[in-house]
Structure 1
Amino acid sequence: MDANTFAGLHLTYPDVSMAVWAPSMAAVHGDRAAVVDGDRSCSYLELDERSAQFAGGLVAAGVQAGDVVLLHLGNGIEFFVAYYGSLRAGATVTLVNPLQPEPGLRRQIEETSAVVAVTQPPQLGTLRAAAAGTTVGTVVLVGGSPGDTGVGVIGFERFLEGRQTVFAPVQVRGDDVAHVAFTGGTTGISKGVRVLHRNVVANVTQMCGWRAGQAVVSTDGGLVDLRPIPDLDVYGVTPGVGCTIVVSPLFHAHALINASFLLLCGVTQVMAGRFDPARMLELIERHRASYVTGSPAMWHTLATHPDAARRDTTSVRVVASGAAPIDRVTLEALSVAFPQARVTEGYGLTEATCVVTAAPLGVGTAYRLGSVGLPVFDTEVQIRAQDDPATELAAGERGALWVRGPQVTGGYLGHPEITAQQFVDGWLDTGDIAYRDSDGYLYICDRAKDMLIYKGYNVYPRELEEILATHPAVSTAAVIGRGAGAVGEEPVAFVVAVPGVAVDAAELMAFVAQQVLPYKKIREVVVIDALPTSAAGKVLKTDLRAILQEAVAH
C-alpha cells in the first residue's frame, strides 16, 4: 500500500450532529470502560446515561438549542459527561483553560453569552468574579464540599440527581455551532472560532478512516457506527482494543477531537492528570496503552527520561504528535522509546476544527522525517505566493498555506472582517508558511507572523530551531526576531540546556553559523530554565518577546 491509496479515497459523512455521539458509542461498546480517572471508571453505558442526565439538567435550567455552556474544567470523567451532555441538549460548548485569569474569562463569557458554566472548586472564585453581571445564570460545581456552593451554584451530582438516563437528542442541524473554540491567542487577542456540528463530525470521521481504517456510517436508529473501509490496511487503532493515556488538556481541540475519534473506536481514555514523564510511562506500561498523543514539548521530556529505557512500552502502536512542529532529535528519540510504534506527525489548527494533514499509517507506507504528512480524506491544500494569493506555487516552493475541506469552520464569532480575509470561497488562509514535495507531502516552515525579514531576506525561525536542537548542549530552543533598525529583524535564540551541561553562547552561535547563510545567523543566545508554553504545548513567543523588551528597557 502506498500513499496514493490514502490520497485517492473519498469518504461519506453521516448527516448527523454530535448530539448522537454518546448514545452511539454506548450502542457499540456497552460495558467497556470509556474513561478511567484514577481509581474511578466510567463505562460507555454510564457515559451515555450520565450525559443524558446532564442534558436533562440543562433543559430543566432553561437552556435552549443554541445557548452556550462554558466548560471551565480540567480533564476528568465529568468533562466528558458535561461535553456530550451539552451537545445532546442542543447547546453550544465553549471551552476554556481553567487557569484563565479573570479578565480573559470574562471576555469569553461576554463574547459567547454563555448561560451555564461548569467549574471546579479551585477556580470557582475566579469564575464567579468573571461571571458577575453577565448572562451566566447557573454554575455547576464538580467536586468540593456543600460549603463551596452559593447563589446560582449547584453541585454536579445534584444537577444530575433524579434526571432520566434516556434523553432524546435535541434536533440540531449540521450548520449549527457545536463549539465556540477560542484560538490560543499566542500572537494577539484570542478569537472564538465557530466550529459547526458538521465540521466536528467530518473531522472525527476523517480520523477514524485515517488512523483506524474505519468508516463512520449512519444506522437505522439515527445513530452512527463503524465499518471497515475496504482495501485500507492501517497500522494504527484497532476498534474495541487498547487505551490511550490522556495528558493533553481536553479544552484544546487537539485532545478533544482525538477523544471523540478514539472513544468511537472503543479506545479507553486513561486520565494522567498533570504531565509527569515518569507517571505517564508507568501508566503506559500498566494499562498496556496502544495509542498516545501529545505535543512536541511533552514528547521531548518523555523520550529522554531515564524511565523510557526500563519501562515496557511495546504495547504502543501509534505515537501521534500535534499542536506544534516536532524537531528531528525528538522524533528519533521517540522511535527508540517506543520500538513497536509508528511515530506520526500531523498538522492542524482550530480554524479547521483540528486535523488537516497527517502521516499515513497504512501498512507499507513510510514516515517522512520533517513532514506533517498528507492531506486527510477530502482535504485540499494549496501553497500560494505570499504577495499574490491568486498564484499557486510549484512543489518545493515556500508560500502561504491554504486549506479546503469539510472540517474548515464557519469563521470567527463577532469578527466578520477577519473572517472575510481568512475564509475565502471555501478556502482557509492558515497563516502558516509551507511547501509540498513532489509526492504531495506537506512541510511546515513557520508561522507567517513568526517569519523575520532581515536585509530583505526571509528568515524562518523553524529552520534555526531545528539546527539548535541538534547541538549536544541544547535540550529545547525557540527563535524570535529582535528589531534591528533599517535592516529589519535579527534572530535571537532562547535555549534550555541539557541538565548538567553548560551552554557556551558564542560556540552555539558559531555552530549555527556554520550551517546557514550569513543573513540567518543567530545574533544572541539567551539561556533560560524552560520555554514558556501554552496548555496545548505551543511555545509562547509573545512571552519571549516580552523578555527581550524588558531586557532592553533595563
Structure 2
Amino acid sequence: MSLARLVYEWSKKTPSKTFLISEDKNLTYEQAVQEIAKIASNISPGSTVVHIMFNTVESILAYLAILWAGGKIVAVDPLTSAEDLKFILEDSKPDLVFTDHDVYEREKNILKDYKTVVEVPRKNVFSSPYEYREDEVGLIYYYAGIAGRTMQVLHSAERMELNSLSLYRATKLKEVKSILTVPIAHVLGNSVLGVTLEAGGAMYIVKKFEPKSVASVIEKYSINYLSTVPMVYDSLNTIDANLSSLELCVSSAAPLFPNTVNTFFNKFGKKIVQQYGFTEGFVLTFQPLEYADVISVGKPLPEVEVKIVKDDGKEAKTGEVGELWVKAPWLMLGYKDIEETNKVFSNGWLKTGDLMSMDDKGLLYFRGIKKRMLKYKGYPIFPRDLEEILKTHPNVIDAKVIGEDAGQLGQQPIAMVVVKEKKDGIEEELLNYVNTKVAFYKKLKKVYIVDKIE
C-alpha cells in the first residue's frame, strides 16, 4: 500500500477526524481525500512530477496526490535554487512541476521552461488511489549521500509505507498528534507524515520555524510527537514554554549533543531519543525511551539487519568501529546510475558509508563517516558538487572542498583552490561565483588559494 492508499482507508474509517492543520486551514480525512483526488486528476499514472513547495496544507495534498495518481514524486527541497534546481529539472525531465508562489517568483527564469503549476486546478473527478507494484518507483530523491553526489535515488511507493509502519510500531504511540517542522522533501519530513498516517493521526504543518510559535502550537493542539532536527531542540531550549503534551521527542539528520539533551530535559522534563536514516534507506533505527540516558542512534528496526564491517573486511566485535552495512525491505530500488548502485550494494547489503559501533545491549553509536558528505544545519552537502562548480571558473585549475567544524551546526564547507593566476580579491570572487548558484546551506564559507591539492 502507498501513503495515498492509507489516507483513503482512514477517510472511510474516520471521515470526520482531523488530519491536516495549519495556521489558516484544517482538513478532516474525508475533506483531504476529496482535495487529493481532485488534484490527482491532473496527473497520469507513471508521470514524473517535481514537488518543490514550502510546507503548507496545499503542499501535503499535492505530495499525496502524486501518489494517489500513480506518479513519481521528485521530492525537492524548496530552498533548492539556481544551478542545483536546473540540474534536477534537466535530469528528471518532469511532465509537471508543482510549486508555490514563493518558489516560483524566486526561480521563474528556470521554471518557465517547464509545465509548472502554482495553483493546482481541481477537477471534480474521484477515483480510488493507484495500486503500485511492489518494485514500482513512486519517489525520487536527489541527495545520494552514500555515493556522494547529486543524482536520482529511486524508491518504491509500497516500500516507503512499509518503513512508516515499522517506525510507527517502534514509537509505541497509539494516538499521534504530530508537528511537521522540516521539509516534506526530506526523509525526516516524509517519516513524520508516514507515522501520522499509520496512526490515523493529525499533523500540524509549520511553513517557517520560529520557536515561540511552534511551542504555542504544541500547547494549543496537545502535540504528542515531535520528530525533528537538533537545531529545533536548541531553539526551544532558549525560550520558556509549556511542552507537557509531548510524549515522544525524536532527533535525527544531524549530530545530537549532550548539552541539547540535558538542557531540554532540565527545562521541560522531556527526554530526546534518536532515529537514524538516510536518503537511500529511509529510517533504519530507533532509540527506545528506556535507553534515552545515552547518546545513541538506537537499535535496528525489527525488519532491519545490520553488521559492522572493519577495513579488513571482517565483522567488528562489540565496541569496535567499522562501516555499517544494512539490509531492509524498504531500501532504495537503486540509483538511476546502475554502476553507482552496484558500488554500494554487496550481496544485498547496502554499505552506508557511516562508521558505527555497537554495545552489548545492541545499541548503535555514530562514530564518523567514510563517504564524502557534510551535514550543515541538518542539510546534506556533497563536496563534489561544489568542486564541480568551482572548476567551471576560468581561473580555476583544481579544487577540493572539505568540512570545517561549526559546533552544533555541523560542518560548514570551505574550499582549497589552485588558480591559474593569483590576484587581489580572487577569494571573494570565487565565493560569490559559487554561492550565487547554490542554496543557502551549501554556500562556501571560506576559500583558500593553495599551490597544490593534497
* Structure 1 residues 127 and 425: alpha-carbon distance in aligned structure 2, compared to 1, 3 A threshold: farther
Q: 1:289 offset after TM fit, Å? A: 1.2
Structure 1 residues 24 and 342: alpha-carbon distance in aligned structure 2, compared to 1, 3 A threshold: farther
Pick which of 17-26 and 107-116 moved more: 17-26
Among 389, 406, 416, the alignment partner of 2:329 is 406
Q: Quick check: 2:261–2:271 contact (8 Å CA) kept in 1?
A: no
Partner of 1:174: 134
**1:107 Cα deviation from its structure 2 partner:** 1.4
Q: Does 1:547 align with 2:437?
A: no
Letter in 2 for 1:398: V
Separation in structure 1 between the aligned mates of residue 131 and residue 284 of structure 2, nearest angstrom = 28
Question: CA–CA distance in 2 between the matches of 1:334 and 1:552?
Answer: 43
Rg larger in 1 or in 2? 1
Say whether residues 1:306 and 2:239 are aligned partners.
yes
| Residues in 2 aligned to 1:433 and 1:22: alpha-carbon distance in whole angstroms | 37
TM-score, L = length of structure 1: 0.67
2:303 to 359, 378, 399: 378
- Identify the match of residue 244 of structure 1 among 178, 192, 195: 178
Which residue identity does 2:291 align to in structure 1? A
Q: 1:272 offset after TM fit, Å?
A: 2.4
1:5-49 CA-partner distances (Å, limit 9, x unpaired) = xxxxxxxxxxx3444122012123321111111121111111111
CA-CA distance at 1:306 after TM superposition: 2.9
CA deviation profile, 1:460-481 (whole Å, cap 9, x unmatched): x99xxxxxxxxxxxxxxxxx9x
Written as runs of structure 1 = structure 2, the 5 A alignment for 1:271-286 is 271-286=205-220
Q: Secondary structure at the match of 1:549?
A: strand
How far apart are 1:256 and its partner, in Å? 1.2
Distance in structure 2 (CA, Å) of the matches to 1:491 and 1:71? 30
Closer/same/farther in 2, CA of residues 401 and 85 from structure 1, 3 Å limit: same
How much has 1:185 moved relative to structure 2?
A: 6.6
Decide whether the 8 Å contact of 1:68 with 1:94 is kept in 2: yes
Q: 1:199 to 1:327 in 2, by over 3 A?
A: same
Amino acid at match of 1:306: I
**Residue 334 (structure 1) aligned to one of 256, 264, 273:** 264
C-alpha change, 1:496 and 1:208, in structure 2 (3 Å) is: closer
Deviation of 1:186 after TM superposition, in Å, equals 11
Quote the offset at 1:493 in angstroms. 4.0
Letter matched to residue 334 of structure 1: F
Letter in 2 for 1:205: L
Determine helix, strand or coil for the equivalent of 2:445: helix
Tell me, in whole angstroms, the C-alpha distance in 2 between the residues paired with 1:342 and 1:491: 30
How far apart are 1:393 and its partner, in Å?
A: 1.1
Distance in 2 (alpha carbons) for counterparts of 1:122 and 1:380: 42
Alignment of 1:161-310 (within 5 A): 161=123, 163-164=124-125, 166-183=126-143, 188-212=148-172, 237-239=173-175, 243-303=177-237, 305-307=238-240
| Distance across 1 between alignment mates of 2:127 and 2:368 | 46
Contact 1:47–1:81 under 8 Å retained in 2 = yes
SS of 1:204's equivalent?
Answer: helix
The yes-or-no answer on 1:69 pairing with 2:49 is yes
Equivalent residue number for residue 456 of structure 1: none
Task: Give, as a single letter, the amino acid of the residue that structure 1 aligns with 2:445.
Answer: I
Q: Structure 1 residue 42 and structure 2 residue 27: aligned?
A: yes
Aligned residue pairs, count: 401
TM-score calculated relative to the size of structure 2: 0.81
Deviation, structure 1 residue 368: 4.2
Letter of the 2:122 counterpart: L
Cα deviation, residue 336, structure 1: 2.4
Change (3 A) 1:368 1:381: farther
Distance 1:131 1:312, change over 3 A: closer
Residues 248-271 of structure 1: per-residue CA shift (max 9 Å, x gap): 111111111221221331331112
Matched residues in 2 for 1:306 and 1:172: separation?
Answer: 45
Question: Match of 2:283?
Answer: 355
Percent identity between matched residues is 23
State the distance in 1 between where 2:225 and 2:152 align.
30
RMSD, matched Cα: 3.0
Report matched runs for 1:513-552 at 5 Å: 543=443, 546-550=444-448
Counterpart CA distance in 2 for 1:168 and 1:324 is: 38
Match of 1:22 among 4, 7, 19: 7
1:160 is displaced (CA, Å) by: 0.6
Change (3 A) 1:408 1:491: closer
Note the C-alpha offset of 1:130: 2.4
Change (3 A) 1:260 1:449: closer
Equivalent of 2:42 in 54, 57, 62 = 57
Q: Is residue 2:9 matched to residue 1:32? A: no
* C-alpha contact 1:30 1:45 (8 A) present in aligned 2: yes
Checking the alignment, whether the CA contact within 8 Å between 1:25 and 1:264 is kept in structure 2 is no
* TM-superposed deviation, 1:92: 0.6
1:447 to 349, 355, 369: 369
Question: For the residues of structure 2 that align with 1:196 and 1:184, how far apart are their CA atoms?
Answer: 16
Post-superposition shift, 1:332? 1.1
For 1:357 and 1:29, the matched residues in 2 are separated by 30
Q: Which amino acid aligns with 1:356?
A: L
TM-fit CA distance, 1:195: 0.9
Match of 1:315 in 2: 245
Please give the residue correspondences for 1:497-508 in structure 2 after superposition, counting only pairs within 5 Å: none
- C-alpha contact (below 8 Å) 1:395/1:436 kept by paired residues: yes
Tell me, in whole angstroms, the C-alpha distance in 2 between the residues paired with 1:201 and 1:490.
Answer: 36
- In 1, the alpha carbon distance for the partners of 2:101 and 2:356 equals 43
